Structures are given as structure tokens and as C-alpha cells.
Amino acid sequence: MDRCGVDVIQHMDRCGADVIQVMDRCGADVIQVIDRCGADVIQVIDRCGADVIQVMDRCGADVIQVMDRCGADVIQVMDRCGADVIQVMDRCGADVIQVMDRCGADVIQVMDRCGADVIQHMDRCGAGVFQHMDRCGADVIQHMDRCGVDVIQHMDRCGVDVIQHMDRCGVDVIQHMDRCGVDVI
């Protein structure tokens, strides 16, 4: 944790319930990837523009919510047992494209919110997740394989680079962090 810039990165493993949180409290960006007994939750939240995107899989009950609280628009698409959904949305320069195939459970999202680009590719059979996010110079790339439970994260937040590679079968952890000239390995 770096409380000067208030960056917090947490990785927790609680009985198969993996939680990864990346928070930048200056811009109030929150990214959460949570796996609790097959219940995957991905949240991308920008509290300046108050945008919320939630993709949840709870025992076959998928919920996608795209909310813009400035214009107070709410769109909910829920699929419980099948059915492909494609959405193209433009909210004040915030383009959202979602292509979802829930048989193979693949999700691709491309979002542009005031320079905050988000690309998510998710394969819930192999439970792989790839995220690339650019929020005011804060790049995040996450690749996760929950069968082997490997996690690679590369983050650049105002000179704060973080690379994490974790293999929980062999329980290897490598962390490299650079916070304002303070290197930690």
C-alpha cells in the first residue's frame, strides 16, 4: 500500500475465493475481480463520472448492468440459460461494445470513457481473464487462469509499476513494485 498516492492492491485467497482489488482513490477507480465458489464478479467503477459496469455469473445466472448515474440511465441484460447478447452503446463519448457467448461464456468488452479504455476478454470454461485498462496513464493488464490459478498483473499508475506473477499450485509469488523510487522485490 502507498498511502501518499493512496494506491491499494490487495490479493486474497480465501478457500478458493480469490479477490483482486486495484484501487486508485485519487481518481476513485475501483476494479474488482472476485471468484467465490463459481460466482464470478467483475466490476469496473469510475466514481468521478459514476459509471458502473457489473458482470456477474452466479450459478448460471448472468447479470450485466451498465449504469451512467449522471444521466441516470440504467440498462440491464440478464441471461439465465443460454442466449447471445450484443450491445453497442454511446453515452457522451463513452462507447461500449459487448459481445457475449454464454455457451462458451466468452465476453469481450471494449469501452472508451473519457480516455479510459477497457478491453475485457473472459472465458469462463478455462476461466481466463484479460483486461487492458488505460485510466489517465494508469495501465492495467491482467491475465488470469483460475484452473492453474496463475495471475499476471502489470500496472502503471503515475510511475507506480506493479508486476505480479502467482502460481498457487506451487505457491510461487513474484512481486516487483516501484513506488516513487522505492523498489520492492
51 confidence band (pLDDT: 50, 70, 90): very low
Q: Where are the domains of the chain?
A: 7-184
pLDDT tens-place string over residues 90-101: 333 333 344 333
Could you tell me the pTM of the whole model? 0.16
Contact 79, 58 (CB under 8 A): no
pLDDT tens-place string over residues 142-165: 433 333 333 344 333 334 344 443
Q: How far is CA 103 from the centre of its chain?
A: 21
Q: Measuring CA to CA, how many Å separate 95 from each of 66, 87, 89, 99, 111?
A: 11, 10, 6, 13, 5
